[in-house]
Structure 1
């Protein structure tokens, strides 16, 4: 059935009347609640995005959903950023240069953002940043070193996502970040950390306007959590003009941005919950970008005039957690058997449809330090049977596989896997988890097998492996534990020598791949589905869109 509307959607009518009422007249079905009418448009054509959801919070300490990361990338800036280079497979698209550069400070090819220059110790214990002078926040307050100090003090105090960063760097307290003078800030660690510089480029290491935050803080809320959940206080290219959760966000370009006003002066980020409707709106010209579409929808868009889908190799990983606290997944042979039994080739062909590649390692393949073929399990049911027999389970066993009801590709994938396992005597019951509670099931470690997809935002083997396979880390959702892996990770965490650290992480990847705490499925690509006249797509390893890069041509 075609997803094309019965007649072209008038863009101005969509912007002015709200998507729900328009959808009804266009035969697209309800979008849920009607969208608010759009504020008076800035000069020039606005950029309109159909997104699955608006952000639940604008505070990067507490929310990592798609809507939030898209907002953070437009409202805030970090001290430095990766230099961008043309994608080797799609030269018209830029991407971060995440390769390792041992001769450069921190081993990264960086450009200045809020910092105009920087130096770092070769031993990984310190780094110093000279800030740009005259940089203003969206509230008109000038950037100073005190903003950086306060931002990191907030991370320590709240202990959320920023708390993970402080622990990863083995920081002892807020006094590890010092304002040397008004425009110079110094990070001084109690011991070496190879990630000191790399973490400065993380999307969630943005710098806050401490003057505005202190103004909005209260005795009950000293770190302005309530304010930052609904507003921005940063030095990025956009400001919030309207936030209506469940409906839309309106961003306004800043003419006083230190990097120059963005080419697109206004961004309308609209909540459109179903992917089929997002496709229809893109086809009809009512929106410029349709986010997170299904592989079959992406395939069909390739033949639609005026629409372009761009896909690039990316950092996301898609796997099944094998919870080692549930028998028989405490046995290595059983976990290996699950990998050999998973129908990877069929899943890549019929479900991902060319938008993903086989996952043959334990971290993103695009990151430096990746070791290929450490988790290359071919589709081999005979090998799976052999391993089950070796584990003392020649007749198989019974278990449960949980999947996210909010992700349409997971159910057919689960059914394919269920069928394959039946051939080796393993009886699997499928359990559909509502999207709203799915992450609770993952983080609560309540299921023996559960699908999951995630991305380590720091392009480094230590960060990637420690995030998921250190026995003490929160995000080790399968309860995997190996004393040697823990020891290698601990040694790598205080090793500034890149060559030595990569060698340590090579060994970790090989151990983890062999012990198979996951069913290693796929590396999904990052795809942007857009109107053909929208230019300037840049791929970031945080897998968000930064609208300041774009323009209409």
Structure 2
């Protein structure tokens, strides 16, 4: 027995012993088992430090006034539809003729999980909360012009009004993302304190929602068990009575569990495993390009020699993009290189940049910058993403070495905590925006407001002016013209070099249907159904 065979047997053995499901007296077909690298670390996305898994969980356990509809992607995979807004708690809404306000009428007989009625007062309290609580929720909604408790008004028990501060086409869609969930205000207030007026400590480990699923058991490092809420009126009742989300850190174990049919769905699988499973054709691989998302190489514009645009362009020409995609993700990504020199031709985003692997151009640009002999620098990446980022880093290191650039690679275990320090000359990072459209994405990376994601520390008054103008236009010919200008500026200044647009791959058993790609990139049990 060789080492590989031993590891495969050990992994299979671990899988068979790991997933011990409690007996509920129901058939296996009544529950859905989903395994991922990690579970939600909180029951409330408003709490500090809420991880990405919590976004998916809270979409199922809390309701919003409205929700996104669905569409079919070109490859046949269902996806959320940013352009289609549908009722959830609201049965209807109306925008004032002068665009000064939008008024929502709630459905009748809405209930929270504890049976308490949902009223416009709960909506008002919940909206007051996300603009006051600080951190991610408040920053997120500030980006869509929801900033002040005085914007929110209870008209009557079933009528809620939002005063619109400015013309912003993202305000309404923002009500369908995870942040503006509606909380049981009386329940939360009964657990509030002077030090914790929004009851964050309570909602971190207790759900106060009305969503399609109730939380039956919450053990973040092990398993989260959800039970269907029979009185849910936010949409079509889920087919599965229970959804079990199991935390399985080892990728090999996740693969073994789904291959042995001990799990119905597996996410966060390495690209090599996905390629193998897809080739075997025994399990479905649901794939979708991650909407408005890029994995990129950031170059610090405040660190020499990357403060020189010629050096940044040289690096962009030096990267062998095809090798990066093949080595890092086994070709399972959308290329973002090779556009014509007259790009951009439209305002779509993400779109390829006008760079391809051209060492001669890279050498010429370095020579023009006075660096014909090369230089020394460091490249950082997230240790948690080593499966894809380390192969990419090694290929970039090799390519730059041929130009005389000596690159030292640093793997960072606390990448997210250290990102805000912005002291890395080069870094591989990833960012995905919840809203379609270039201007919203650009505000997080290219705007002079210098968010934590702007690891290149890029600032340009011209870029800021264009992005501020786009925020007001955001549609039609005027927006198209502005967007093409700021995309062109990004391609020229290139503080961020797109490596590829990632693809989200999820392994699903053949007898499970209804998977829908969601903007938060987590598996949503509400639509899943076992044959």
Question: TM-score by structure 2 length?
Answer: 0.91
Residue 222 of structure 2 corresponds to residue 247 of structure 1: yes
- Offset of residue 509 of structure 1: 1.2
Distance 1:154 1:498, change over 3 A: farther
- Offset of residue 66 of structure 1: 3.4
| Equivalent of residue 205 in structure 2, options 217, 230, 234 | 230
1:53-92 equivalent positions in 2, closer than 5 A: 53-61=38-46, 62-63=48-49, 65-90=51-76
Report the equivalent of 1:49. Answer: 34
- Offset of residue 236 of structure 1: 1.0
Aligned-partner Cα distance in 1 for 2:514–2:49: 27
Aligned-partner Cα distance in 2 for 1:346–1:281: 31
1:120-159 equivalent positions in 2, closer than 5 A: 120-121=95-96, 124-159=99-134
Report the equivalent of 1:94. Answer: 78
Distance 1:345 1:360, change over 3 A: closer
Distance 1:64 1:385, change over 3 A: farther
Residue 149 of structure 2 corresponds to residue 174 of structure 1: yes
Report the equivalent of 1:347. Answer: 324
| Greater CA drift, 115-124 or 298-307 | 115-124
Residue 400 of structure 2 corresponds to residue 421 of structure 1: yes
Report the equivalent of 1:13. Answer: none
| Equivalent of residue 452 in structure 1, options 400, 424, 429 | 429
Residue 264 of structure 2 corresponds to residue 285 of structure 1: no
Residue 90 of structure 2 corresponds to residue 115 of structure 1: yes
Aligned-partner Cα distance in 2 for 1:429–1:350: 19
Paired residues of 1:83 and 1:96 also in contact (CA < 8 A): yes
Paired residues of 1:318 and 1:524 also in contact (CA < 8 A): yes
- Offset of residue 240 of structure 1: 0.8
- Deviation track 1:250-282 (CA, whole Å, cap 9, x = no partner) reads 111111111353111111111111111110111
Report the equivalent of 1:335. Answer: 312
Aligned-partner Cα distance in 2 for 1:139–1:502: 48
- Offset of residue 301 of structure 1: 0.5
- Say how many residue pairs are matched: 516
- Deviation track 1:505-552 (CA, whole Å, cap 9, x = no partner) reads 221111112111112101011111111111001112221221010000
Report the equivalent of 1:183. Answer: 158
Other structure's SS at 2:132 match: helix
Report the equivalent of 1:404. Answer: 382
Aligned-partner Cα distance in 1 for 2:123–2:352: 40
| Equivalent of residue 496 in structure 2, options 484, 493, 518 | 518
Paired residues of 1:128 and 1:184 also in contact (CA < 8 A): yes
Distance 1:546 1:219, change over 3 A: same
Residue 513 of structure 2 corresponds to residue 528 of structure 1: no
Report the equivalent of 1:161. Answer: 136
Structure 1 gap segments, 5+ residues each: 7-22, 99-107, 363-367
Residue 463 of structure 2 corresponds to residue 485 of structure 1: yes
Distance 1:339 1:124, change over 3 A: farther
- Offset of residue 121 of structure 1: 4.4
Distance 1:281 1:35, change over 3 A: closer
Report the equivalent of 1:465. Answer: 442
Structure 2 gap segments, 5+ residues each: 340-345
| Greater CA drift, 441-450 or 411-420 | 441-450
Aligned-partner Cα distance in 2 for 1:167–1:295: 36
Q: CA RMSD in A?
A: 2.5
1:309-320 equivalent positions in 2, closer than 5 A: 309-315=285-291, 316-320=293-297
